[in-house]
């Protein structure tokens, strides 16, 4: 089966909300084609949808390192995920400066 048909199969799983099957297929594709940026991006998008942000971030970073064409778009996604991860771990009540918005503290 060629890559295009395998991607169609993954898309069918996603349309049917069978995300685990889609992820398993993408993992298999990544093992078969470890240098394929399209596989990394598709898996990263699915991992993002599943809120597995750290794994998605790793795939996006790998795709940039392997020379993805739309670098700016991928870097924007990396920045979004980095912010999500940052704020997921933030404790808004830990700020000693309660007069200011704790979300804006660095």
Q: Give the span between the Cα atoms of 76 and 69, in whole angstroms.
A: 14
- In this prediction, residue 91 has a pLDDT band, given cuts at 50, 70 and 90, of low
Q: Give the span between the Cα atoms of 77 and 87, in whole angstroms.
A: 15
Identify whether the C-beta of residue 62 lies closer than 8 Å to the C-beta of residue 43: no
Section 84-93 average pLDDT: 75
Identify whether the C-beta of residue 56 lies closer than 8 Å to the C-beta of residue 41: no
Whether residue 96 has pLDDT greater than 90: no
Task: Go through the domains of the chain in sequence order and give each one's CATH number.
Answer: 3-89 (1.25.40.10)
Using alpha carbons only, what angle is made at residue 43 by residues 38 and 44, rounded to the nearest 5 degrees?
Answer: 95
Determine the pLDDT at residue 35.
Answer: 87
- In this prediction, residue 100 has a pLDDT band, given cuts at 50, 70 and 90, of low
Question: What's the predicted TM-score (pTM) here?
Answer: 0.79
């Amino acid at each position: 089966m060629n890559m295009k048909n395998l991607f169609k199969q993954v898309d069918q799983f996603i349309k049917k909300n069978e995300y685990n099957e889609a992820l398993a297929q993408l993992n298999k594709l990544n093992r078969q084609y470890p240098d394929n940026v399209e596989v990394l991006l598709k898996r990263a998008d699915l991992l993002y949808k599943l809120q597995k942000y750290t794994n998605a971030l790793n795939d996006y970073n790998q795709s940039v390192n392997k020379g993805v064409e739309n670098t700016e778009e991928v870097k924007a996604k990396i920045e979004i995920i980095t912010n999500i991860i940052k704020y997921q771990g933030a404790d808004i009540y830990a700020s000693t400066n309660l007069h200011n918005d704790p979300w804006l503290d660095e």
